[in-house]
Structures are given as C-alpha cells and as structure tokens.
A and B are shown apart, each in its own frame.
Chain A
Amino acid sequence: MNLLIDVLIAIGLVVLAWQALVGGSLFRGIVMFIVFGLTMALAWARLGSPDLAMAEAAIGAGVTGALLMIAYWRLRALGASRPTPRSRLRARLALGVGVLSSVLVAMIGLAAVEAIGPGGEAGQALAAALPATGLGNPITGVLVIFRNLDTLLEVAVLLAAYVASRAALGDDKAALPLPPAQDAPLVGALVAVLAPLTVLVAIYLLKAGSQLPGGAFQAGAVLAAGGVLLMLAGRLHPAPLCGLGLRIALVAGTVVFSGVGIIMLALGQPLLAVPGTWAVYLIETAMMVSIGATLVLLFAGSAGLSGKALR
C-alpha cells in the first residue's frame, strides 16, 4: 500500500511535469505547474518533511505560480509577439537529449541510492548538536544556527533579485501594469477575513518553526501571499517611490542577521554565532518581514507600495 501511494504520486509528478512543459497553451502550462508544485508538496509529505511540503506549497507552487501568472498577464497586456516554434530537427534532437539525460540521471541516482552508507556524517553531527540549541526542529537549527551563512547569503540573493529587477525595469518605469482591482462584494468580504488571517498564520508559522515545521521562509511566503491578495483586491497599490519603512523592511533580514553575527564577533564569540533562542526569533522575524516585503514588491513590479492608487 505504501509503495502504491508513492508510485501514484511519482507518476503524478511525471505526468504533471509533461503537462506543464510540453505542448498545450502556456496558460495551461502555468496551471499545471502550480498543480505540479502541490504534488511535490505531497511527495515531501510522504518523505517525512512537512517543512518542505509547506515551503513547496507556499513558495514553490503559490508565490512562483502567482509570479508566473502575473508575468503571463503582463506579456499579454504588452501584446508581446508569440515566438515561432522550433524546427522539427531540433525537436527530435531535443527528445534524444531529454531521454538520454533521464536515463543518465536515473542511473546515477539509483547507483547513489544503492551506495548509501550508514548515513551522512553531517546529518549525524546535526542530530547530536541539536539538543544543545533548545530548538526542536533540525531544519531551523541548520538554517539559523549551524549553517546560517547559507541562509544569510540566500536572503541577500532575494535582495539582489529585487534590486536587479528594478535595474532591469529602469527609471522610466514607475510600475508594471496590474490587472484591474476586484471590487465585487464577495471578494471584499473574503479579503476582510483572509488578510488578517495571513498575518496570524505567518506569526504562528514563525513561532512554531523553532519546535515544529515552519519558520521564516514559510511565514514570509504567507505574508507575501497576503500582500498579493490585497494588491489584487485593490487595497494596496504599486507606487513609484519606496517609502523608508518599506526600504528598511527590504534589508531588515540581511542587516539584523549580520548585525547579530558581527556583534557576537565583537564580543569574542565566533562570527555569526547565535546567542540564544531570543536571537533565533529576532533573526527569523526580520527575515520573515524581508521575504514578505521583497516578494510582494517583485509581484508588483514596482519600486514601492502605497495604500493609495497611483493615478
């Protein structure tokens, strides 16, 4: 039964990847991609990683899906041309490359699974070192304490992505177009319930993250989802200028994280040491705010946000 479930999900993944990527309209491809992300989340759940299930659902399927949808909408609104399909020869060649790479990856992967030893040395060190931190969730432990340089640089990548997107869009662009706001009564009522709920869920995920699955990334993605909701409902608008508060929110994750790390160095501790659970919460909160703000701005395609309409 166990195997049957895994096989079904795995087949689903393959079929959905095919549906998302090959043939059919681009819009259908995007919808299929979102469903692929949800199925990935199921796979992570089966692999015993609720953290990844959540991250995949919220970031991999949810926010990425929203970004793809809005980019698709914008490309249509711009009237961008439809590219000419590739030649038949190239398609045949590509099929060969695709099949070959599949076989290769399968062979390599199966050999790797075959050759697995008694378990990763690093993983065992993790299990041994976790209790001393007071955290119950090993993933949060790795992300915030043991390998926090990765996490810090990853938040910097998000910041770089925002600045680089602004650089690509240039000065003359106050904001990219957004679809007209939804002002149907039902939408209004739903937004009134959902928007506060996103904040609540985000804070819960953040707090739960130290012991249970969850953490800054999932929480930040939920906040971003809330921001996207407000934007689509016409409660939040792109703005040509970025207010100081929002600018601080953008860099809060990187600054607070490195600030704590450098203060610890100045106090004679190792660089980026985390002094206690309170610091974990502090860092995670700052990261959540940064992730949420950056993702919403990336969705808006604007420099800033405001409660008032642009025009």
Chain B
Amino acid sequence: MTAEALTGLVFLPLLAACAVAALPGRLGGGFVLAGLAPLPLCLIVLTGAVVDTGTVSLAIAGFASPLGIEWFVDPLALILLWLNTVIALVVGLYAARDYPPHSARGGRFWALWLLLTSAMNALLLSADLFNLFVTLELVTVAAIGLLVIDGKPAALRAGMRYLVLALLGSLFYLLGVALIYGQAGTLDLYQAGERLGPELLPVTALVLMTVGLLVKSAVFPLHSWLPAAHGNAPGPVSAVLSAMVVKVSIYLIWRLWLWLAADWQPDWALPMLGLLGAGAILYGSVLAFLQVRLKMMVAYSTVAQLGYLMLLFPLFGPLGFTAATYHLLSHGLAKAAMFLAVSNILAVMGTDRLDRLGGADRRLPLDTLTLALAGVSILGLPPSGGFVSKWLMLQAAWAIEGWGWLIVILAGGLLAAAYLFRPLAVLCARPATARPADDVRAPSPAGLRWGGIVALMLALAALVAGLAPAPVLTLLEGGLPPGARP
C-alpha cells in the first residue's frame, strides 16, 4: 500500500495538472478535486507506515541507488508532506474564489497549482541529488508562473528578478552536484554522505550547493528578491510561497549538512549558517517594522522567520531539531493565514497601506481576528504552535549555553511584537477622518466570508498546533538526524 500512497502523492496532482491543461472548461474543477482531495488519504497510509517502521523507501523502477533514484520518507519529510498537502488544499479552497477552474485564467492557475503541489511532494520524497535539482526547477517555474498570473507590473518585475536569481542558484547547486558525483560516484544523498569525508572537495561542493539553495530560499543576505515577490503575488500564491516554497530549499540545506555531512561537517560550518539566521531575524524584523504596506510587512516577516530555521544549525541536537521543525510547521500555517487575511483586506479596502486601513476591523472583523491569531503564533505567545517551537528553541540554546543565540531569539520575539502590534493597532483604530473609498472592486460578501473562514481555519490550526504538540514531537523523536541521536 505504501508504494501506491507514495505514487499518489506525486502522480495524482501531476496527472490532474495534465488533465486541467488539456481539457479546460467545465471538466476542470472535477480534475482539480481529483488531484488534491485524495492526497490526505495517501498521507494517512504513509503515516501509518512511518509510525510502524520509522522510515519508508522506494526504488523507482526497481533500480536502487547508485544507478536508480530512490524515494525516502522519514518523520521530517512526512511532516512537511502533511504541511504541503494541507496548504495546497486549504489555500486552494480560498483560491477557488478568485480563480474559478472553468475560466481560461483559472485553468492555467490550477494547472500550475497542481504542478507545484506535485513537484514539492516529489522534492520532499526524493533522496537523489540530481532528481532534487529537477524538482527544484519544476517548483521554481510553477511558482513564478503563479506569481505573475494576474499580470500586475510589480509582480512581473518581482517574478523576473526571482527567476533570474533562482536560475543562478540552480547553477551553483548543480556545480556542487557535479563535484559530489565526481568524488562519490553516486547521486544518492545518504550513500554519498557515507563515501565522502571532510576533505576540501566535498566541503566545497556542499558550500556551493548551500549558496544556491540560500538564494532560492531567500536567507539573509540573499533575501533581496523575496519581499517584492511575496508582497506582490496574488494572495493565495503569497501564502503558498511563504508557507512552503522557500522552506523546501531550507529543508534541503538541513538534509545536506545534517544528513549527508552528518559525520564530517567542519566545525565552522554550523555556527556560520546560524549567523546568517541571526542576521535574517534581526534585519527582517526591523525592515518589517519599517514597511508602509501591510503585505510587504508580512513578506519581510517571512524573511525574519526563515532565520529561525537556520538557527537549527548552531542549536543542533534533539531539542533544536524538534524546535526548528515545529517552527517550520506552525509558521507555515500562521503565515498562510496571514497572507490570506491580508488579501481579503486588500480586496475590500482597495489598498493595504497602513495609513489608510484605520478602522478596517469594523468591515472585516473576521480577518482582523485571523491576523491577530496568526500573529500570536508568529510572536510565539502561548498557547500557539509558535510558542512551542520558540520555547523548545530557547531550551536548546540554554542547554548549550549559547547566550548569543538566546538573545537573538528573544530579540526576534520582541521585534515581532513591535511589527505585528502596529497593524493591529491601526486596524482597530477609530479614525476621525480618512474613510477608505467605498467604490473598490470587492468579491461578493459570500465569497469574502468564505475566504475569511478559510484563513481563520489556518490560523486556528496554528494555534491548535500549540495545544497538542505531543504526537508530532513524538514522531520527530523517532527520526532525529544521525548526529542528534543518543
């Protein structure tokens, strides 16, 4: 059954994308549903297998590595697969309002959406360095196609910049793959790790691949493309870009340093990567505070929050690993909720400039609530998922007496409070003047309420993640990286 489940995760959305691309019109909606709806079933089967056996692997076409490509699922990959599927489905519910599948534009949107879902699932499953390159390219092309689908000049420009940088990043990644294959004679991530050592060439290869992936995941100081891209994309696309697309690259960086190089990372590498994370937290938070547009603020907040994922490296250990993974999960849900709520606000108010949003809470109570709830998780206040991850992370920093990291985590929390309270205060203000224009193009009230409920669901999921973290944490403890195992 697991082979079928794995197949479904990649091939259902892929084939549905083909169907939507080939047969647009009334049939489209049905295929979208057929491509996405069964994915949780596949994941339930897969979760059962992972809980039973710890890991699941599958040799494609029956050819094991080094010749063939293998899929490999451990608890980390499984949790990301769940996150990806939930985001694709729930944000998809929201997108169905703006992009009806039977229109020409909607057909393209859903074809790309399904391709993106399939590509990210394939990326999370793959344990082959070159296959990962192919899936990364598919993710990039589909994501940028979605970004520019509304034809807004700002989005086109942001998409172009994103594409050029992402292609450059791919080149660096590929150069690293070339070196690894030359040295190890295999492309399998885990096999290559066993065959290599801390010599100059393998380390150089890892550095090259990491630089490429850092560009793609917009980690400080290579983040320059992200705010414009995430701040100008259509709402549901911003949500999936922030919640998943940038994170899969960081996930690969984790795989490279904590799995492939588990036994031989040089001493300087992990603190170095952590420093980038610290820079991202501080710089991203300050810039988020300085933004005048709500959506840009949320985008800069992503730059900051990505930094916490890089803190895994200096805080590496069982605690640090579960903390970072939990952060990935709760931030994904909260940030998707935030982008959707902002998108609703933008649709109703016609602008997302903070100085024109005064009193918007009366017209959009649901979305203001969503923004506040998601903010609680981003801030790391109890009882949210963000609290669990920040708490674990602080414990990890305490345990290794990394006071510097501790301060960065705390400062990041305070700065997040600063930049998140400002828009909430504005939204709930009672301005005497400056009523927003009423003649803006807004979706129907029903559509709006629908979108608001979807966003609220995600924000609540991020909160619930804080109330019942035990199953996820137990699962993760069964799949610690080699270096963190007792």
Contacts and interface: CB of A to CB of B under 8 A. Distances in A.
Interface residues of B, number: 63
Contacts of B66: 120-122, 125
Interface in B55-89: 58-63, 65-69
B108 interface: yes
Given A105-B175, A147-B67, A163-B21, 11 more contacts: A108-B179, A108-B201, A147-B131, A148-B61, A156-B14, A164-B148, A167-B108, A168-B159, A255-B18, A258-B14, A265-B3
A77 to B, nearest CB: 19
B179 A129 contact: no
A167 B182 contact: no
Interface stretch (A41-49, A54-62, A109-117): A109-117
B221 to A, nearest CB: 15
B25 to A, nearest CB: 11
Given A149-B69, A171-B104, A120 B60 contact: no
Interface of B: 3-4, 6-7, 11, 14-15, 17-19, 21-23, 58-63, 65-69, 104-105, 108-109, 111-112, 115, 118-119, 122, 130-131, 134-135, 137-138, 141-142, 144-146, 148-149, 151, 156, 159, 175, 178-179, 181-187, 200-201, 204
B14 A167 contact: no
A153 B130 CA distance: 12
Nearest to A116: B182
Contacts of A258: 11, 14-15
Contacts of B67: 122, 125-126, 129, 146-147
A131 interface: no
Interface in A274-288: 274
A168 to B, nearest CB: 5
A6 interface: no
A186 B159 CA distance: 43
A interface, over-half SS: helix
A183 B170 CA distance: 43
A13 B130 CA distance: 26
A269 B62 CA distance: 8
Contacts, number: 171
Given A121-B186, A125-B67, A170-B151, A149 B141 contact: no
A122 B3 contact: no
Interface string A24-40: 00000000000000000
Interface of A: 105, 108, 111-112, 115-117, 119-126, 129, 145-150, 153-154, 156-157, 159-161, 163-168, 170-171, 244, 247-248, 250-251, 254-255, 258, 261-262, 265, 269-274
Contacts of B179: 108, 112
B112 A112 contact: no
Contacts of B65: 122
14 contacts: A112-B178, A112-B182, A117-B183, A125-B67, A147-B63, A147-B131, A149-B131, A156-B118, A168-B149, A244-B22, A247-B23, A255-B18, A261-B11, A271-B60
Contacts of B183: 112, 115, 117
A121 to B, nearest CB: 4
Nearest to A172: B151
Given A148-B60, A150-B134, A272-B61, A265 B109 contact: no
A40 to B, nearest CB: 16
Given A115-B201, A145-B61, A120 B21 contact: no
Given A150-B130, A153-B119, A258-B14, A270 B22 contact: no
